Chain A
Amino acid sequence: QVHLQESGPGLVKPSGTLSLTCGVSGDSMSSGNWWSWVRQSPEKGLEWIGEINESGTTNYNPSLKSRVTISADKSKNQFSLKVTFVTAADTAMYFCARMRPTGLGLDYWGQGILVTVSS
């Protein structure tokens, strides 16, 4: 069974950097899937942030692209999200998820982690 688990600070100061990690079990990050980040807030709803594959190729949402970096550590079977220069608008529940190739969609999600941007 595939399991994803987000971890990281739940509170980040304005203008700081949000850093989260998603640990993957039950699948390998070298399996050909894409590994995604999605966030959810009452104001914006569900928002796709970006993804990375086993080759390190990334795709980002243009609305966040200048501030977002997704990276992977295959040796630890985990991938990470960094969002720089955060504001209150970045306060959200952050989810990591697995995206199957060939049209199969986002099929496994982590439980999510609430990140609040506040001084």
Chain B
Amino acid sequence: IQMTQSPSSLSASVGDRVTITCRASQDIDNYLAWFQQKPGKAPRPLIYAASILQSGVPSKFSGSGSGTEFSLTISSLQPEDFATYYCQQYNDYPYSFGQGTKLEIK
């Protein structure tokens, strides 16, 4: 299953609200996760089942979608939120990731 994220990169300012989209090449129900990754670090799980926050993840992160269209919204951007974000489907083998969206400070 091909996962396509858009945009590939995004510039935003502290305090902004941004949305990243992820499209699956076929129906994956809600088996969709979002991760945040900073340079030199492992991906940090943010969301599973398309919209459920992992433990300890602040509510400024929210996810939505089902089937083939999904989105991740981050509100009130802070300096620590500037990172690369990935979606991942785990509905069918082989599990697959999007190519990433790099969120940069404007």
A109 B42 Cβ-Cβ under 8 A? yes
A-B contact count (CB 8 A): 59
Q: Is the interface of A mostly helix, strand, loop or mixed?
A: strand
Contact flag A45-B100 (CB < 8 Å), given A62-B94, A106-B33, A107-B54 = yes
Q: Is the CB of A48 within 8 A of B95?
A: yes
In contact, A46 and B97 (Cβ under 8 angstroms): yes
| Chain B: interface residue total (CB-CB under 8 A) | 22
Chain B nearest CB from A83 CB (Å) reads: 15
A13 CB to closest chain B CB (Å) equals 26
8 A-B pairs with C-beta separation under 8 A: A45-B86, A46-B88, A59-B94, A95-B42, A103-B48, A104-B49, A106-B43, A112-B41
List residues of A whose CB falls within 8 A of some B CB.
45-48, 59-63, 95, 99-100, 103-112
